[in-house]
Structure 1
Amino acid sequence: MANEVFPIKSKRDYNKFIKALKPGRDRWLAQLGTAFGLRISDLLLLKIGQLRGQKSLTLREKKRGKKRVITFSSSVLKIVSQLEGNDDDYVFASRKGGQPITRVQAYRILNDAAKRAGIYEKIGGIGTHTLRKTFGYRLYENGVDVSRIMSILNHSSERETAKYIGITADEIEAAYDSIEV
């Protein structure tokens, strides 16, 4: 993989990254991308009506055709309450109107923010998939079992999931080391 991207593991770096994004659409892109763990192709197609007034989102993923149900956290509900526009409008609307921003535009927004936040070099590459990987890493950090994360991300092996979310051998060792019996 030539352009491998990584999760933003440090909460401090993540917060700097979020603050470097323009409030509104650009910031919501990163926040909802991290909260939902969707591929960018699914995230960009979200419409305001799918989120506004809802407590969860049900959709069929484009890539695998798998149905996903995402329950909204309190921080997501707060973002959703700020959405303006018609139910048919895209959450991440292009300024050209009637269309969502492109993957390339989403990539630019995230990359520019990472550079402004001073975390780009530290992370070693950021892209649209960084949000999905950060979602997976946050689940892991919060004690969600890798096999469950594998299922949520629709991966075929735990090993693939561990590599995907950037769990290193040191982190695995530290996890085992922390167990007292």
Structure 2
Amino acid sequence: MKNVDPIRDPRKIQAMKTYLKGKSPRDAALFVVGINVALRITDLLNVRWRDVLDDKQHFKPLTLVEQKTGKERRIHLNKPSQKALRDLQSNLPAVSLDDYLFQSREGHQKPLSRQQALVILKEAAQAVGIKDNIGTHSLRKTWGYHAWKNGFSPALIMETLNHSNLAVTKRYLGIRQDDINDLYGQLNL
């Protein structure tokens, strides 16, 4: 499997949001929620409305056990995630709490497939001119990269991503020479 990259440029993130919103509320919500919750795609695609909404349709923390690690995650959905899900919900004919957030169009009660999610993301990335290698894991990597760029501790990022050690997280963040150059340019002691 070839490594994928995070989306580093905030303008490209906005362009992806705009492009996907014009194509499909489901695809836009998949992208927005994906870059804001840092879940692996298999975990994200298996989330149902009951996992994020209570009986009164209010958002609640998403609690799940990660398939890969077996560890429990509790995620408070931020405002962009909540807005994207409300937009999706308002564009659906009906929503049952048992429905998947990101339903396949191929059948009732089937989540979007990992392969279809990949096609959606690659098409959008190409449409907005992203040259890096984008895949489904780019959603999670984008969260990690921007958490790091916004000053969050690599140790906290490591814990959030359930990485086994800091070396994994450092590799995962996709730090490039231009990031190192920025550090030298911005740190003036």
TM-score, normalising length: structure 2: 0.86
Identical columns (%): 39
* Preserved contact between residue 29 and residue 81 of structure 2 (Cα < 8 Å): no
| SS of residue paired to 2:124 | helix
Equivalences for residues 99-178 of structure 1 within 5 A: 99-119=110-130, 122-123=131-132, 125-172=133-180, 174-175=182-183, 178=186
Unpaired segments of 5 or more residues in structure 1? Answer: none
Amino acid at match of 2:112: I
The aligned amino acid for 2:15 is K
Q: Once the 2 structures are TM-superposed, how far is the Cα of residue 177 of structure 1 from its aligned partner?
A: 5.2
CA RMSD of aligned residues (A): 1.6
Task: State the shift of 1:167 in Å.
Answer: 1.6
TM-score, normalised to structure 1's length? 0.90
After TM superposition, list the pairs within 5 Å mapping 1:27-38 onto structure 2. Answer: 27-38=28-39
Query: Aligned letter for 2:162?
Result: N
CA distance, structure 1, for counterparts of residue 152 and residue 103 of structure 2: 33
| C-alpha contact 1:55 1:77 (8 A) present in aligned 2 | no
**Aligned equivalent of 1:94:** 104
- Structure 1 consecutive aligned stretches of length 4 or more whose deviation exceeds 6 Å: none
Q: What one-letter code is carried by the residue in structure 2 that aligns with 1:44?
A: L
- Read off the aligned partner of 1:13 and give its amino acid letter: K
In the other structure, the counterpart of 2:12 is 13
Per-residue deviation, residues 38-68 of structure 1 (Å, max 9, x unmatched): 0001000010121122242111101101111
